Amino acid sequence: MSRRVVVDVIALLDEALSLPQDQARRLIRDAASRADRDSVRHALQFLQNDSRSEGLRWLEAEFELVYASSVSMNERLIAFAAAILPARSRSRYREEFDGELGEIAAECGRIRQIRYCLRLLVRAVSLRRELRKPAAERAR
């Protein structure tokens, strides 16, 4: 979480509070794609001192919806990619996929996480093919 990201999120949230809800939702999606959950929480805490606490509760709930849908989609994509693999390799690769996604989530926004999951899904077929080959043939 960088200070600059938190400052940017504070500016977006402040702007969102003065907009109609449909326009504010667009800003929230934009902010969520650039910032991790911790940055948003820090920005919301900073704005708690503001007199517009009702609007802040709405913004916080909207962010949670955006992040929840993102997490569940990433989880589903990773689960599907792992399900494509041979049964004996699924749990190992599922753990690797989850670990890599966690690293990406710590450093990048939602869009990059989703791109990673989609790339896993596309490459799962070729990985399955490789994993089905005998070990001696894979070592070459």
Residue pLDDT tens, the chain, 140 long: 567 777 777 777 778 778 887 777 777 777 776 676 777 777 777 776 655 666 677 777 777 777 666 666 888 888 889 999 998 998 899 999 988 988 888 788 778 888 999 999 999 999 999 999 887 666 66
Position 140 scores a pLDDT of 60
User: In which element (H, E) is residue 87 found?
Assistant: helix 87-107
Length, in residues, of the chain: 140
Alpha carbon 124 to its chain's center: 20
Q: Report how far residue 74's alpha carbon sits from residue 98's, in angstroms, rounded to the nearest whole number.
A: 9
Q: For residue 30, give every residue at least 6 positions away whose Cβ sits within 8 Å of its Cβ, in sequence order, or none.
A: 12
